[in-house]
Structure 1
Amino acid sequence: MKLRLLMTCCFLPLVAVIYSQTIPQEIYDNLNKSASVYYAYPQVDEQYTPAPAGYTPFYISHYGRHGSRYLIADTDYLSVMQVLEKAAAIGFLSEKGQDVYRRLQLVWKDAQGLGGQLTPLGYKQHREIAGRMFHNFPEVFEGNKNISARSTVVIRCALSMTAFCETLKGLNPKLQITYGSGDRYMNYLNYWNEDARNFTSDESSWRESYRKFRKEHICPERLMKLLFTNQAYVEQHINAEELMIGLYWIASDMQNVDLGISFYDIFEGKELFDIWQVFNYSHYVCNGTCPWGKEIVQRTFIPLLENILESAEDAIKDRSAAATLRFGHDGNVMPLTGLLHLEGCYAEETNPEDFYRVWSDFKIVPMAANVQLIFFSKKGSDDILVKFMLNEKEVKVPLESDVVPYYHWADVEKFYRNYIARLLL
């Protein structure tokens, strides 16, 4: 046992080192990953571990983020375009700046009036995830079984739910699906208590460190010289940091639309990596497992974990339930993955320069991110097994099991019930 513990202690730091070394290179190799929560859902090509002999799937518990969308508001496009438009009117845009402005006009033509709405890719992602779920676990969806589908009140989540469920219904018209989207469900789908709202607010004490980090990592001088011919004008009339961030978000979101337009040519790889670090910092502290506020954030998501546990117990007792499907946002999936202790999602770090070494938002919550718990039973046995998947990839949890990546539900439920009790102390 001592040898095993020693090997584990030596292995974990090695994993952390390897993880941290690969993140910058991952972004340099695929600039789309610098998009933070705007990273489009990656291609899925998984080979799953077969279930232990005799076990078949009977129920799926799911929480999914909405699919790819436009920037959150039309003003996110207009605020950038207006800066370039004013500079163009007085002849202060460089040749590259004029080219960027022309591209922005094409982007705006596609996005106008659709801020925060799903793009066509967003619908496609959920149709494909649902299709893979059906084909990977066909036993779950046999006959006229019931599906409970709930979404937050935000339309992009409700439409994601609809695309997902219509796909399942198309594959088996006998499925009985009940839909819901309203305040009744918000207390577990997207609830933030007062402590969590205070901790994540701009007035929270950790924000001073964050603002300093942001200032050190966002360096717009080179970009301003690339886009504008008069730097005195830039200094007097343009918030260079905000313009760079605005362009970064537009560049990030191009992977979520089908325009064939890119803005990565105006950024350097190191600039994108540094900007990504800024937002990864914020997401890790507000939604992840940074020790500064881990328990504050996780307490507010206890109702979601309790809903998962209670829905599973109901499904185990009443085998007419095929799935419980929930649809929300990145700010819900991130805390849930930490609360569940999913592999790669619950590391703790207090040095901002090292946040990216232990936690990466693009790995956890791309557009259409999802957590799936797949439940298995065996004829003639009361033993229930569960497998965890994050973005359709098998992941481990920190529990002993003789059938990893499958876990005995009795052990899993006990672990989460005990963890909830500790959070509430």
Structure 2
Amino acid sequence: MTKIFNLLLLCSAISTAALAQNCPDNFLGTKTLYPTPNEKYTPGPKGYEPVFINYVGRHGARHLTKEVKVAYTYGLLQKADSAGALTPQGQQLKQMITRLEKVEGVDTKSISDEGRTELQDIGRRMYAQQKTIFDKQLNLNVGITKEVRTKQSADAFLSGLKEGLKAEPTIDRYNDDTNLRFYDASPAYFAFEEGGPWLPLMVSLEKTERIAEVNKALAGRMFTADFAGKLSASQLDKFAGDVFGFTTIVYSLKNEISKAGFTPDELNFKAFFTCDELQHLGKVDVADDFFKKGPGINANGIQVRIAAPLLVNFIKTADEFMAGGKYNAQLRFAHAETIAPFAALLGISTADKPTTDIKRINIDWKPAQVAPLSSNIQWIFYKKTGSNNYLVKVLLNEKEVRITGLKSTTYPYYQWNDMKAFYTKKLHGYGVNLNDDMLKYLKDLKQ
């Protein structure tokens, strides 16, 4: 009997491996690893040199944010196993999740080795590109959130940056959940996440992508027909969502998987899906981010306006520098929920287009390009020698970008006075002044 079971397990492994081994990885969305830029930057206008950087970045590639054991799927598989209701593929999945638990260990919520490398490399490139800023007495102001992965990301970034420095910088550190986790402080935004005007479009997309069928098909491969048939639509959705989440997280854990003594194939959750299923789940995952964190159906919706505190902070810290402030760079480390709405609020042309056409999602707004792991937005200030004239170049993920509606005769460089006026006007349209209490703004925000 044991030999028969092992044979079935082997056959299942072969058929499972055939499901999605050669599928493209374009379903990862915001779990995409940071792409190394290969940019040729536009030289600054004659007489200008970089003097100040305003930066906000997402944490690096990471571990899961919750222990494997608390996942709905973990308990469901245990229950099914006890009832003898796991198929050979279900047994494979259970074993794979057990391996993932060993890989994760006590590192949940932390960045991974991959994430550490991403941030170090960004720091190294920043130094290489802006030596005139960093080859002097350096004072840095470094902001993080309450989550440990943002501190780890800041430390990794700074370690890469410091490799090129001639002297140890002065570094001030602070926690800033109001400006960097603004989405946590607004009751109206919580309500929007649960069911805003985007909901009918999301329901329509799930039908178009046949998500209910995908969920049933996955469960049908893992459980006996009787057991799978008793699972509700909600349970099936949770199950598929967990497995899809495990599928996307292992890309960030390559080194940890090897350290734990496993091969990539031994944690290849991708192989439990067909290529089509991954594409369907990926489209819905992207849409969820687009509607709730990106420009969504309204570029002035609450999911964008909620980032106003960070824009105010960027403007005020820039003004402080020009008034003789001590910091050469303002460096902030936060989350995808910070970067995506901030990019939309700024009007970055690849990140600010709303739509009600579900076919346009992941075409006009691509999360892998807007908010991948370690994603970042930089304002680099250039000053003309002997004057008080400043230009600003905006980078998204270290690429020069255009600001929708803001004109410049020296693109990608914008006149700071024009840029400040442009954003101040936008903030005023939201009822925001630069000296307002931003925590109160978030609490008073309406959909």
Q: TM-score, normalised by structure 1?
A: 0.85
Distance (whole Å) between structure 2 residues aligned to residue 164 and residue 129 of structure 1: 7
Question: Residue in 1 aligned with 2:374?
Answer: 368
Question: Residue in 1 aligned with 2:339?
Answer: 333
> What's the CA shift for 1:145?
2.0
Question: Residue in 1 aligned with 2:77?
Answer: 84
Please tell me whether residue 201 in structure 1 is matched to residue 190 in structure 2: no
> What's the CA shift for 1:99?
2.5
Question: Residue in 1 aligned with 2:151?
Answer: 158
Cα distance per residue 1:333-358 (max 9 Å; x no partner): 11100111112111021233433332
Contact 2:61–2:373 (8 Å) recurs in 1: yes
> What's the CA shift for 1:309?
0.7
> What's the CA shift for 1:32?
3.3
Question: Residue in 2 aligned with 1:3?
Answer: none
- 1:126-275 to 2 correspondences below 5 Å: 126-172=119-165, 173-181=167-175, 185-192=176-183, 193-194=185-186, 196-204=188-196, 206-207=198-199, 209-211=201-203, 213-214=205-206, 216-217=208-209, 218=211, 219-228=214-223, 230-237=224-231, 239-258=235-254, 259=257, 260=264, 261-275=267-281
Contact 1:395–1:405 (8 Å) recurs in 2: yes
Distance (whole Å) between structure 2 residues aligned to residue 166 and residue 344 of structure 1: 30
Question: Residue in 1 aligned with 2:391?
Answer: 385
Q: In structure 2, the residue corresponding to 1:178 is in which secondary structure?
A: strand
Distance (whole Å) between structure 1 residues aligned to residue 35 and residue 190 of structure 2: 34
| Alpha-carbon spacing, 1:227–1:253, altered in 2? closer, same or farther (3 Å) | same
Please tell me whether residue 118 in structure 1 is matched to residue 111 in structure 2: yes
Q: TM-score, normalised by structure 2?
A: 0.81
| Alpha-carbon spacing, 1:124–1:33, altered in 2? closer, same or farther (3 Å) | same
Distance (whole Å) between structure 1 residues aligned to residue 22 and residue 170 of structure 2: 45
Distance (whole Å) between structure 1 residues aligned to residue 71 and residue 270 of structure 2: 19
> What's the CA shift for 1:256?
0.4
Contact 1:196–1:300 (8 Å) recurs in 2: no
> What's the CA shift for 1:367?
1.1
Distance (whole Å) between structure 1 residues aligned to residue 197 and residue 407 of structure 2: 38
> What's the CA shift for 1:50?
1.9
Instruction: Name the stretch that deviates more: 170-179 or 58-67.
Output: 170-179
Distance (whole Å) between structure 1 residues aligned to residue 389 and residue 198 of structure 2: 46
> What's the CA shift for 1:241?
2.3
Instruction: Name the stretch that deviates more: 146-155 or 84-93.
Output: 84-93
Distance (whole Å) between structure 2 residues aligned to residue 174 and residue 113 of structure 1: 32
Letter in 2 for 1:400: K
Q: In structure 1, the residue corresponding to 2:301 is in which secondary structure?
A: helix
> What's the CA shift for 1:233?
1.3
Contact 1:143–1:174 (8 Å) recurs in 2: no
Distance (whole Å) between structure 1 residues aligned to residue 57 and residue 369 of structure 2: 14
Distance (whole Å) between structure 2 residues aligned to residue 110 and residue 77 of structure 1: 15
Cα distance per residue 1:172-199 (max 9 Å; x no partner): 2332111112xxx222122245364244
Letter in 2 for 1:318: G
Q: In structure 2, the residue corresponding to 1:233 is in which secondary structure?
A: helix
Contact 1:54–1:378 (8 Å) recurs in 2: yes
RMSD: 2.5
> What's the CA shift for 1:412?
1.1
Distance (whole Å) between structure 2 residues aligned to residue 387 and residue 206 of structure 1: 33
Distance (whole Å) between structure 1 residues aligned to residue 136 and residue 323 of structure 2: 18
Contact 1:61–1:324 (8 Å) recurs in 2: yes
Cα distance per residue 1:206-242 (max 9 Å; x no partner): 43553453355312233233333x2121111473222
Contact 1:288–1:294 (8 Å) recurs in 2: no
Q: In structure 2, the residue corresponding to 1:327 is in which secondary structure?
A: strand
Contact 1:64–1:371 (8 Å) recurs in 2: yes
| Alpha-carbon spacing, 1:29–1:148, altered in 2? closer, same or farther (3 Å) | farther
Question: Residue in 2 aligned with 1:42?
Answer: 35
Distance (whole Å) between structure 1 residues aligned to residue 247 and residue 312 of structure 2: 38
Unaligned runs of 5+ in 1: 1-27
Distance (whole Å) between structure 2 residues aligned to residue 343 and residue 115 of structure 1: 35
Contact 2:111–2:149 (8 Å) recurs in 1: yes
Distance (whole Å) between structure 2 residues aligned to residue 157 and residue 339 of structure 1: 22
Instruction: Name the stretch that deviates more: 55-64 or 161-170.
Output: 161-170
Unaligned runs of 5+ in 2: 1-20, 258-263, 433-447
Q: In structure 1, the residue corresponding to 2:182 is in which secondary structure?
A: coil
Contact 1:97–1:226 (8 Å) recurs in 2: yes
- 1:9-28 to 2 correspondences below 5 Å: none
Question: Residue in 2 aligned with 1:420?
Answer: 427
Contact 2:55–2:331 (8 Å) recurs in 1: yes
Contact 2:51–2:132 (8 Å) recurs in 1: yes
Question: Residue in 1 aligned with 2:444?
Answer: none
Question: Residue in 2 aligned with 1:342?
Answer: 348
Question: Residue in 2 aligned with 1:400?
Answer: 407
Cα distance per residue 1:81-115 (max 9 Å; x no partner): 33333333444333333233222221110113332
Identity over aligned pairs, percent? 24
Please tell me whether residue 297 in structure 1 is matched to residue 306 in structure 2: no
How many residue pairs end up in the alignment? 395
